[in-house]
Amino acid sequence: MNPFLLALPLGLILLVLAGCDPASSQQEQAAPQAPPPVAVATLKVERESIPLQYEYVGQIAGSLEVEIRNRITGIIEQRHFEEGGEVTAGQLLFSLDDAQYRAQLRQARAAIDSARAQKLTAQAQLKKAQRELKRVTPLANQQMLSQNQQDEAASAWLIAASATATWAVAISTAEAASSCWFWLSIC
């Protein structure tokens, strides 16, 4: 037989045996080791109600803008509302230093009292003039007094009547002027 042919199977067997070396198989097994497992946090799942909330980005604007202006001047002592808050008609917004307004109210009341006193005086003069005119008219008709004296009595009566009416109007005017200060009198 041919020695080459004999050497060929023997070489193949050696080659196969060299590939099956136990030391080389351990190296192959050690090289492809996987990394250690990753730590994972876990939660226990439970059923519960969650309130539904939405958050939006946007701008808001009031439906009505109101400009507030003062009717009287004064020093603000206290504010009775929150800025940007809702207010209602008739709600007290500010408290002012009311010392000067209280003084004006006292003056208005004094003017009313004075006008009432003047009216009483005018009414007394009117009654006196009425009595004088009643006394003078029959005497003047009988020509016991001059026409001039009757005219003076009639004029005195007219003057007293107009003075009474004037003071009645003055009282009404003063009361109307002081009525705007009524809120001060209840403080």
The two structure tokens encoding residue 146:
């001059």
> What three-state secondary structure class fits 175?
helix
Mean pLDDT of 160-176: 87
Say what the pLDDT of residue 71 is: 74
Say what the pLDDT of residue 187 is: 43
- CB of 178 within 8 A of CB of 113? no
- Mean pLDDT estimate for the chain: 80
- CB of 133 within 8 A of CB of 149? no
Mean pLDDT of 18-34: 60
Say what the pLDDT of residue 186 is: 44
Say what the pLDDT of residue 20 is: 58
pLDDT band at 26 (very low <50, low <70, confident <90, very high): low
pLDDT in tens, 44-96: 888 888 888 888 888 877 777 777 777 777 888 899 888 888 888 888 888 88
- pTM metric for this prediction: 0.47
